[in-house]
Amino acid sequence: MTSFLLVISTSYAYPIFSANDAKKIHQLGGFSIVNAWSFFSKRYDFLRSNREKTGHALFSFKVFQHQVVAMSGENARKVFFSEKDFSFEQGHRLLRGAVPTLKDIKMMSENSNVIMLNKRLLKIVRKDRLQSGKSYHGSAQSNTSTVIPTLVSDVNKRMEAWGASGKMDPFKDIYDLVFQLTIRLSTCEELATNADSIKKISALYWQYEKSITAVGLLLPWFPSTAKKHQKQSTKDLYDILSHYVDARRKAKVPNSDPFDVLIADGESNAVIVEFALLMIFAGVVNTAMISCWTLFYLGANNEWKNKVIAEVRNLISTYSDASSSEQIHERFSSIPVSVWEDETPAIEGVIRETIRLIKTGPALRRNLGDNIQFADKTVDKGAYVVYNMADVHLNEMVYSEPLKFDPSRFSPPREEDKQGHLLFLGWGAGRHICSGMKIAKLEIKMILALFLSSYEYTLVGKSGMPLKESLQPDRNDIHQSKPLGEPCFLQYRKNLE
434 is in an annotated binding site: yes
Q: What are the strands, taking DSSP E only, across 17-155? A: 26-27, 30-31, 58-63, 66-71, 86-87
Q: What are the strands, taking DSSP E only, across 252-395? A: 362-367, 372-374, 377-379, 384-388
Q: Which helix (H) or strand (E) holds 421?
A: none
Sheet containing 58-63: order of strands = 26-27, 58-63, 66-71, 384-388, 362-367, 86-87
CB 253 within 8 A of CB 142: yes
- First-last CA distance in the chain: 58
Cα–Cα distance measured from residue 458 to residue 167, given in angstroms and rounded to the nearest whole number: 10
Cα–Cα distance measured from residue 95 to residue 97, given in angstroms and rounded to the nearest whole number: 6
Backbone angles phi, psi at 257, to 5 degrees: -65, 155
Could you give the count of Cα atoms lying within 13 Å of 9 in the half-sphere of its Cβ? 12
Give the number of other CB atoms < 10 A from CB of residue 83: 18
What distances in angstroms separate CA 390 from CA 58, 148, 387, one per listed residue?
Answer: 15, 35, 9
From the number of C-beta atoms within 10 Å of its C-beta (0-12, 13-18, 19+), residue 413 rates as exposed
Helix axes 302-319 and 437-454, enclosed angle (nearest 10): 100
Give the number of other CB atoms < 10 A from CB of residue 464: 10
Q: Please enumerate, by residue number, every residue annotated as part of a binding site.
A: 434
Residues marked as binding for heme? 434
